[in-house]
Amino acid sequence: MRNRIFSGMRPTGSLHIGHLSVLQNWAALQDEYECYFGIVDWHALTTGYEDKLDLKALIREMALDWLSVGIDPEKSAVFIQSQVKEHAELHLLFSMFTPISWLERVPTYKDQLQQLGNEGKDLHTYGFLGYPLLQAADILVYKAKAVPVGEDQIPHIELCREVGRRFNYLYGNVFPEPQALIGKVPLLPGVDGRKMSKSYNNAISLTASTEEINIRVKQMITDPERLRKDDPGHPEVCVVSKFHHIYTPDIKRVEEECCAGKIGCVACKKYLAENIDKVLAPYRERRLFWDEDGKVEKVLQEGAEKARITAAATMAEVRSALGI
């Protein structure tokens, strides 16, 4: 039997090309592992309980983002967390023996409490404290051995391992110890040089058309000291160049020409826009296929059915270990 993977994302807004490498990573794991990919809507509510999120629409968009990048429902279970109630049951059972202090000392807890508190969110809630415990249940309900995530999630995976270990110690060996699979995530800035974020209006959406890509690339900040086309440029301070590093196979040539003052910024940007478009075009195409009536709904329904079978088998073991 192949080892299992679980990973998830909160459906809080459409994805941009900064998220692309994570999804490409997931897609690449699908042959080697039995994959479960959950759209974690309960997690979205832990921080967004007041936001009146249009979760139905957000979930559909997220599923389309995933499918368009190559998450393949023939290979992997793609589903909505809240449709597999076993996650909630395991979370509840974990809460019986997880010390509050473990949750309070997860580094992201205090950081986020403060950061989102400054943005006017009151997160002194039971659900927010339990966020990583619900995440542990997401992972362990599939007995996943690996969890592909970004570096920021390491403390959460560590807590998950501790919770699993404590369960095994108290009730008998049920859970494996999942490993975080940290993929290479190149940090792309937004077109204005700040962090790429939809809320800064500086992101290139995964669904961007050729025209939208052109507009965004034109907005990118270039070497401020370069006034004329034949001035030598400094790619290391140029946002365009950071994108070339990911999207342009002959990046070396572009950099040399920039440094030698042989290529103008307008031409350089045009070339980048073409290269980004080459990557996104097949995704746009596949998105059209999945966007047809009822297809996403069917994927999510079948994904939940598949996930429930695995999760139910784990829960039978868990209940029996607990004697309930």
Q: Which residues bind ligand SF4 (CB under 6 A)?
A: 222-223, 226, 233, 235, 238, 240-241, 258, 263, 265, 268-269
147 binds, options ligand TRP, ligand SF4, none, Cβ within 5 to 8 A by partner type: ligand TRP
In degrees and rounded to multiples of 5, residue 146 shows phi and psi of -140, 150
Residues 114-173 that bind ligand TRP (CB under 6 A): 135, 138-139, 147, 149, 153, 156
Shortest reach from residue 156's CB to ligand TRP, in Å: 6
* Residues 33-72, mask of contacts with ligand TRP (x by CB under 6 A): -------x--x-----------------------------
For tokens 């937004």, name the residue.
190
**What's the closest the beta carbon of residue 160 comes to ligand TRP, in angstroms?**
8
Measured from the CB of residue 260, what is the shortest distance to ligand SF4 in angstroms?
Answer: 10
CB of 255 to ligand TRP, least distance (A): 33
Give every CB contact of residue 252 below 8 A, 6+ residues apart in sequence.
none
Classified as helix, coil or strand, 174 is coil
240 binds, among ligand SF4, ligand TRP, none (CB under 5 to 8 A by kind): ligand SF4
Residue among 78, 29, 14, 51 at smallest CA distance from 212: 14
Which residue, 247, 238, 241, 239, is CA-closest to 277? 247
Out of ligand SF4, ligand TRP, none, what residue 22 binds, judged by CB under 5 to 8 A for its kind, is: none
Q: Tokens at residue 9, please?
A: 């994302």
Cα-Cα-Cα-Cα dihedral of 99, 178, 185, 156, to 10°? 0
Strands 146-149 and 77-80: unpaired
The per-residue b/e assignment along 100-110, b for 16 or more CB within 10 angstroms, e otherwise, is eeebeebebbe
Residue 69 interacts with, from ligand SF4, ligand TRP, none (CB under 5-8 Å by kind): none
Would you state the structure tokens that stand for residue 261, as one six-digit string?
């003052």
For residue 167, give the 3-state DSSP assignment: helix
The smaller minimum CB distance to ligand SF4, of residues 214 and 241, is found at: 241
The answer to whether residue 307 forms part of the interface with ligand TRP (CB under 6 A) is no
Name the token pair of 10: 């909160």
Task: Dig out the tokens for 16 from the structure.
Answer: 């941009």
- 153 makes contact, choosing from ligand TRP, ligand SF4, none, with CB < 5 to 8 Å by partner type, with ligand TRP
Closest to ligand TRP by CB, 81 or 214: 81
Strands 77-80 and 34-39 turn out to be parallel
d(CA 244, CA 235): 10
| Binds 265: which of ligand SF4, ligand TRP, none (CB < 5-8 Å by kind) | ligand SF4
258 binds, among ligand TRP, ligand SF4, none (CB under 5 to 8 A by kind): ligand SF4
Contact status: 7 vs ligand TRP (CB under 6 A):
yes
Return the DSSP state at 16.
B
For ligand TRP, the closer of residues 149 and 191 by Cβ is: 149
- For ligand TRP, the closer of residues 73 and 148 by Cβ is 148
Interface with ligand TRP by CB under 6 A: which residues? Answer: 6-10, 40, 43, 135, 138-139, 147, 149, 153, 156
